[in-house]
Amino acid sequence: MKIDLTDTTSSKINKALVQGRRAIGTPAVGMVLTLVIVTDEENAYDALKAANEASREHPSRTLVVIKRVSRSPRDRAKARLDAEVRVGTAAGTGETVVLRLYGEVIDHAQSVVLPLLLPDAPVVVWWAANAPLDPANDPLGALAQRRVTDTYAAEHPVEELSARADAYTPGDTDLSWTRITPWRSMLAAALDQVECEVTSVEVEGEEFNPSVELLGMWLADRLSVPVKRSVSSGPGLTGVLMETNCGPIKLGRADGSLASLSIEGQPDRAVALKRRDTAELIAEELRRLDPDDTYASALRFGVERLSEQSGAEKSAEKAKPEADRPAAAKKSAASSAAKKAASK
């Protein structure tokens, strides 16, 4: 059931929710949380679809906040709120309210959302697009126990990780971190199978992918070893190589679906490591509403420290004497010298 409200108020929206529940014969409220989605028109459909799928596991009241930019100065000065109330099959297993804000009310979205929150239930705010650099100090983020962003959707995702680290507040999380949960589980399980000491790590993935950086920071933070990042064509993360004193441990995924785990002295095995869609990521985040200390520790390790490690490795390679360089490098140097001698 859908109820459209034009130039409305939060009070009228609440009455429409009660009216809709009675019309479909379910007046009781059985939802466990309020999910606030902040997005734009371009991303609203995909975000709402993901939230509806996640509501099968977490029945919730979903409030979609869309800030509409008016064209003329007169329209920008006039405040207006339009709403679309969905209950029943049109809203998954919960309730959905799509809020479109116009004019001056755009700067006061928290005043519109606050009366619509479920009483005595946790609040999660998810920025599907245009997330603030400091979610906890955002007016909408201040209403929530959990604040979900996605640096992958940012214009400069890797640089934004540094800003997230500076502004981190317990309760912040990122879907780029959620994407590497299966990788972290698989790597931890692989290390549990051997009694070896990790000496270095190489993480391979797409360029400018924040999940690659976060996985590298997590490994560097937990193992206290140098971590090198390599660029591949993707999709996403494609491989992790851990050098140990017992031989290499390699987890590679070339097709975004099936991965191969290789441990020295053991047969190679295929493991399911498919790329998950947004609905699965949101469902995972809604399972726990307490602060993620592991994410905080990895984020605070810093992208800059990873870059410093990579820079130190390159400098060490350049500083190697002629005898220690690989044969290919020496052959290239000899070839260059021969060309210079021939040209004289």
pLDDT score at 25: 74
Say what the pLDDT of residue 215 is. 95
Task: Determine the Cα–Cα distance for residues 216 and 242; give it in Å rounded to an integer.
Answer: 11
H or E element at residue 191: helix 181-192
The dihedral through the CA atoms of 256, 279, 179, 270 has a sign that is: negative
Q: Domains of the chain (ranges plus CATH)?
A: 2-149 (no CATH), 177-317 (3.30.360)
Q: Please answer whether residues 85 and 3 qualify as being in contact, where contact means their C-beta atoms are separated by less than 8 angstroms.
A: yes
Q: Taking Cα atoms as reference points, which of 231, 281, 36, 30 lies closest to residue 143? A: 36
pTM (predicted TM-score): 0.83
CA 215 to chain centre: 12
Residues 146 and 149: their CA atoms lie apart, in Å, by 10
What sign for the dihedral angle of Cα 68, 71, 74, 77?
positive
As averages over each run of 10 residues, the pLDDT of the chain (344 residues) reads 89 90 71 92 92 88 88 71 84 84 90 92 93 93 94 87 92 95 94 90 92 94 92 88 92 88 89 91 92 93 73 48 45 42 41
